[in-house]
Amino acid sequence: MTTAWWETRWLLSATAWTIAGVGALAFLWAMCRDRSRGRTRCPKCWYDLVGLVKPETPAPWPITCPECGMKIEHERQTRRTRRHWRLAAISLAMMLAAYPIAHIADAREYGPQRLLPLWLQAVAWPVGELDGDRFANPRVGTRIGTGFGLDIIEQIKAEAPDAWYARHFARRIARSLRFTNPEMSARVLDFGHLWPTLRRGAPWYTEAQARAEEKLQGGPKRGQGRPFWRTKREWIAYETESFGYMLRASVAKSVKGDNGEQNYLVIGSSIVVAASDLRLEFFDKYHKVIERVIARGPGAREDFSLRDGRVMVFRNTSDAADYGDMASLDLDSIFPITRIDGSTEVGCLRDGSNSVTCVTANPIVQRLFDAHLIGVRARYAVKQAAEAPRPHDK
């Protein structure tokens, strides 16, 4: 689609800011310009009452306006500011129109929902198109003029993963799925209340700091599969995605004899799951486990024995991770040492994020992982101590 000259983003943005500025000035003029400034005027027709109310002579109250006949009870009624409501309404309309004007180019590329603020899209935009394959494969239909709800999800992830309207939109998606496929149940698993506990005082990076750090490091570490996540928005989006993978993997290892359909979708700091009742029981179970492990702090763990002799262990590893780096790679290095007795099978399956790690393996490998984790924690403790500011540095 060819872009017209007037659809360039900088020109649309400049036009929108100009219209918004003019509208704001007009609104202030309409609401504040015509003040009393000591004059006595009729509050209805604004007739000058200087002949009836003189400063040197107390006027008898109430008085009647000779122009319109309004009965005025108190002097303070004659000191009101005259509001020009028609101009105020026009100026408000100008300010409201500035937002869609600034996003015309986005609307042509992604769809008409981009003409509205994100919170309004999440509250009011139809979500009925989120069903079937496009729910199971959220990459499909997000950039081709359909799947507007999926585009809203992408915006939430990029702009406000922990906002109230992100959680509201997740609940709307779940309700839509229940109507779309009555044979499946839907659930919203929210992690928004866990972020303060996980961070434990670790500082957030600003967008400018993140860009400066990536430039210093030569750009994102593409070979490691993901870029730096340094802002609160980026960190929450990554952690929620990781929790989703962990939940799916844990349920797949636990549910036997049920090959029913299972779909999930990450929306901000929430995960929408559509599955059979049996699978949802396990999703609920492991979601609560993750919450408990996080709430208990670093070092907390919960163990579950599986039928094949392996043990699934959820561990809080937030004290073994540098939030601005690829620290989880240290935990991934357990894989080369998990071959038991020369077996060709890998005895350890690890899922998780920088905050929670779930290891599914036999008890021997679990002990190996615990020993490895002690070493990782020790290294990060030394690193944090070395980076901590000293009194004479302040």
Which residue's structure tokens are 């310009």? 33
Give residue 352's pLDDT. Answer: 65
Q: Is residue 319 part of a domain?
A: yes
pTM: 0.73
Q: Is residue 369 part of a domain?
A: yes
Give residue 27's pLDDT. Answer: 92
Three-state helix/strand/coil letters over 284-332? HHHHHHHHHHHHHCCCCEEEEECCCCCEEEEEECHHHCCCCCCCHHHHH
Residue 337 CB burial class (10 angstroms; 0-12, 13-18, ≥19):
middle
Rounded Cα distance between 197 and 208, Å, is 25
Q: Is residue 316 part of a domain?
A: yes
What is the CATH classification number for the domain harbouring 351?
3.30.70
Rounded Cα distance between 303 and 313, Å, is 4
Rounded Cα distance between 365 and 360, Å, is 9
Q: Is residue 117 part of a domain?
A: no
Give residue 324's pLDDT. Answer: 47
Q: Is residue 343 part of a domain?
A: yes
Give residue 287's pLDDT. Answer: 94
Strand order in the sheet with 348-352: 301-305, 311-316, 356-361, 348-352
Q: Is residue 107 part of a domain?
A: no
| Domain coverage including residue 345 | 298-387
Structural domain count, the chain: 1
Q: What is the largest CA-CA distance in the chain?
A: 109
Low-confidence stretches of the chain (pLDDT beneath 50):
1, 131-146, 221-228, 324-328, 336-346, 392-394
Q: Is residue 167 part of a domain?
A: no
Q: Facing residues of 302 across strands?
A: 314
CA torsion angle for 95, 96, 99, 101 (degrees, to 10)? -80
Q: Is residue 333 part of a domain?
A: yes
